[in-house]
Chain A
């Protein structure tokens, strides 16, 4: 492991189990990984292998049964829930498979949401540059329900990056898109992520998406394996 000040994310011997009825299923078993600033890591695995659980733990949206998660240098185990939420708001950008745009807000409002949650002022230049890069300038006043899947995901990427997070977490970002659209979105995702210098943790079962990253690990039976 590198210098801790460069480590944006650390998962150390993390286990997570879920109870289904009378049975307890171990999804992650003693999982360890760290991500340094600017690194891009893809985690591949079959459906149900625990990829999304791993991402939720990394974002502080879920707590491990054992082990340690540190985000932006802060050990989440010692933080109360409101502090974890604020840490996530400030340091994490999230891209979901299902986009999860707020239907009731316009594209512009969706993108500005993280700034508002962090109490940051809108940097017009940055906003214009980001939406220009993603090619969604003309969509800003529209509501999400009127967008195509590709457009929605581009808006979601802009929302994830607008507040310049230390860590970008992407959960199957092309999972809901057709192949052509997925390729376009991936290309944009790659470009934007590089230009913003974001640290990326992507979980996917799409090899092409994983290839965007410098490193790929495989999650099998709750344990990470090298590519």
Chain B
């Protein structure tokens, strides 16, 4: 066995380029999976990070469902005999430039001395030192380019608030992107006197709390918070995980292509080894060992790269996580050994599985084989392949069409992609043969004809390429189609001429009433939003007729629904909520309010892309009574005809210096900006998959060049010039890329259809109309041709400059 290992080692050393490609392929795939897995953990941990910072990993929160806690409760509990250590917390989100930070206000004096917060005397002093003093982590200061002593203006609760950074926490990763402040100061600055978001308590205080908490309050432990974060981000995480696994699959195609090429290179040596007595078992162990070593090294490299990549992905996901789910993530990932170990084992297992056919082919080499030709290579016969394709495609379609679970739909899509991968080599070669048939006597026709004979070698690369290109284009089509849907939705929804908010706080009822009196304004709409927990939003609307027309009804709606809505007998629900809770028209739903539970029937289900957890809408007058909240977040102004708009804007500006008006075009632009930010990570992953595909292409082309070296030398000997041979090779690379690009077109269409029609409704709850944005194809095809051309330059140059005599002699 020692000799066999030596044989293997020396052979691999003689093919460093191939070895490097295999390592790169697997490392790139593992890096994408690692990056997404670590980033996913950041999302999961983000709801808990602050709690861990305050009271350790094992804590619970006392919350008021559907609203803030009354601060007096804390005072009552804290002064009750036997009370555990309790920490009152007020939480909100603050925007600093384009960064979203979590603003946590606590009572520094309530932090236990031995607790994880470990506030030293000076730190406590820094926190309570002034009305606007705040702390954050040193890492956050560094990332934002700030220093202790800087004054910053953040936007929170609809107001611009100036804060002074007086101290920084060292080595507190869980406090990244968090501003810590004294509770009383924060309540004052935010205009939320007497309010708390929750009370943090140690987990072992459950019995005491159950005995002393008033009715209507709930206790949420850290596991429940993690579950909640998991549910909130499930759609996003599942999508990204699926994408990353597809990236790994494409990477494994590279490994498969490289290992099967290396096998062809040493068929003769293996045949000789078998002839002199090497058993199949020894050969099998050797080959598996090679794969494991290769996959292990590649996976280690991938884990390192993936950890770096994860930090970059967290940067991309930070804004959408905050905007869509209200989650403020840390800036850096916190890798754990179980994550690394799991991915490492996954890489080893997947690499071994992907090279099973290579192993089978190696074991099938008869003793004494002298030929290097591909006879005896294991491949599926056409009928077997077609049966497999039909089975995979059928099973995939069944999973997609008949399952309501997202995981099954993604699995179904994976099966469809497997069917495509099996078909791609046959169809790709048929395309190449068709071109050859079209121009049989030309250089390009003959060069493409030569490709046809290398199907075994090029099959995996063609499959990998077309899948990767199809995946990139399909995702792009889905995103663009979705963008069109969101744009249409915003266009329909935004009916008011302008929208008014206050830069300092909420809009009081007086301003609304005052505006309603203005003759230049025909009608007013408004919205007041409230978090009902689990990401579900409560929206209280004033809906004059034109605003009501902005709803796109998927069920219900109409005049009777409006009447029920206005009188509080009917509620509207967004499509995502209706899907998640399987709500129908006429069904009753409960809304927890501070005093009671309000119930009403669903009278309309409307299209909504604002929240994937869903929204319950009720009339503002009803909301005011239920929640005793007279405020509004924004007002929509519908202008009367033939007014002097400039004069009206001037008058609005004179109302209050805090008044901000934003016309509907600007709101639309901002909405699409948020949309684009949300999908930046999807684009990034699509590009990464594309990069892995490029590695697959280069790997295939280099393998082709090396494997066909003797044929190229013969052509040169027979009189094909260097330029002719270079063109020959580049025609082949471009032809291969073109075939892959053409195959990618129907694959991308399928991926677009599955993502838009099946994945989106199940992951996020909203339906997206099927559109056909062909832009990605217009980019994909020229880009693939260009990539093919560029990828051919090096092999063409290398092959053409080689001396034919040397190539013929050296075989």
**What is the chain B residue whose CB lies nearest that of A104?**
B453
In A123-173, the 8 Å CB interface with B consists of 143, 145, 159
* B670 CB within 8 Å of chain A: no
Give how many A residues have a beta carbon under 8 Å from the other chain's beta carbons.
Answer: 32
Q: Is the CB of A56 within 8 A of B716?
A: no
10 interchain residue pairs of minimum CB distance: A89-B719, A104-B453, A56-B805, A104-B450, A61-B805, A100-B714, A62-B805, A117-B719, A85-B721, A82-B721
The answer, yes or no, to whether B334 is at the interface (CB within 8 Å) is no
The listed residue with most A CB atoms (<10 A of its CB), out of B454, B711, B805, is: B805
13 extra interface residue pairs, beta carbon distance < 8 Å, beyond A103-B453, A104-B454:
A56-B809, A82-B722, A82-B723, A85-B719, A86-B719, A92-B719, A98-B811, A101-B714, A104-B452, A104-B711, A113-B446, A117-B719, A145-B375
Chain B 721-737 against A: per-residue CB contact (8 Å), 1 yes, 0 no?
Answer: 11100000000000000
Complex alpha-carbon distance, A53 and B805, angstroms: 8
Distance between Cα atoms of A102 and B450 in the complex (Å): 8
Contact pattern, A 44-73, Cβ under 8 Å of B = 1, otherwise 0: 000000001100100101100000000000
The answer to whether B718 touches A117 (Cβ under 8 A) is yes
- Beyond A59-B717, A61-B717, is A145–B373 a contact (Cβ under 8 Å)? yes
Interface check A6, CB cutoff 8 A: no
Taking CB atoms, residues of chain B closer than 8 Å to A159 are 718
| Chain A contact residues, CB within 8 Å of chain B | 52-53, 56, 59, 61-62, 81-82, 85-86, 88-90, 92, 94, 96, 98, 100-105, 109, 113-114, 116-118, 143, 145, 159
CB-defined contacts of A100 to chain B, threshold 8 Å: 710-711, 713-714, 717, 808
Q: Which of A62, A92, A109 contacts B449 (CB 8 A)?
A: A109
Contacts of A82 in B (CB 8 A): 721-723
B305 at the interface (CB under 8 A from A): no
In contact, A85 and B809 (Cβ under 8 angstroms): no
Which of A85, A117, A118 has the most B CB atoms < 10 Å from its CB? A85
Q: Bound state CA distance, A90 and B809, in angstroms?
A: 23
Contact A114 B714 (CB under 8 A): no
Say whether B718 contacts A94, CB under 8 Å. yes
Does B715 belong to the interface (CB within 8 Å)? yes
B809 cross-chain contacts in A, Cβ below 8 A: 52, 56
For A89, the chain B residues whose CB sits under 8 A away are 718-720
* A102→B708 CA distance, assembly (Å): 9
B247: interface (CB < 8 Å): no
B722 touches A102 (CB 8 A): no
Contacts of A88 in B (CB 8 A): 717-719
Is B276's CB within 8 Å of the partner chain A? no
* 24 intermolecular pairs with C-beta atoms under 8 Å apart: A56-B805, A56-B808, A56-B809, A61-B717, A61-B808, A81-B721, A82-B721, A85-B720, A86-B719, A88-B719, A89-B718, A92-B719, A94-B717, A98-B811, A100-B710, A100-B713, A101-B714, A102-B715, A103-B453, A104-B453, A116-B441, A117-B718, A117-B720, A118-B719
Do the beta carbons of B711 and A103 come within 8 Å of each other?
Answer: yes
Contacting pair A90 B719 (CB below 8 A): yes
Q: Are A85 and B446 in contact (CB under 8 A)?
A: no
| CA gap between A101 and B453 in the complex, in Å | 13
B76 at the interface (CB under 8 A from A): no
The residue on A at minimum CB distance from B447 is: A104
Asked whether any CB of chain A lies closer than 8 Å to the CB of B522, the reply is no
Distance (Å) between the CB of B811 and the closest chain A CB?
A: 8
Taken together as a complex, chains A and B put the C-alpha atoms of A90 and B718 apart, in Å, by 9
Q: How far is the CA of A159 from the CA of B715 in the complex (A)?
A: 12
Alpha-carbon gap, A118 to B719, bound state (A) = 8
How many Å lie between the Cα of A98 and that of B711 in the bound state? 12
In the assembled complex, the Cα of A143 lies from the Cα of B719 at a distance in Å of: 22
CA distance A116 to B724 in the complex (A): 12
Q: What residues of chain B lie closer than 8 Å to A109, measured between beta carbons?
A: 446, 449
With an 8 A cutoff between CB atoms, is B488 at the interface? Answer: no
- Please give, as numbers and ranges, the residues of chain A lying within 8 Å of B85 by CB-CB distance: none
The answer to whether B804 has its CB under 8 Å from any CB of chain A is: yes
Chain B 781-811 interface 0/1 with A at a Cβ cutoff of 8 Å (1 = within): 0000000000000000000000111001101
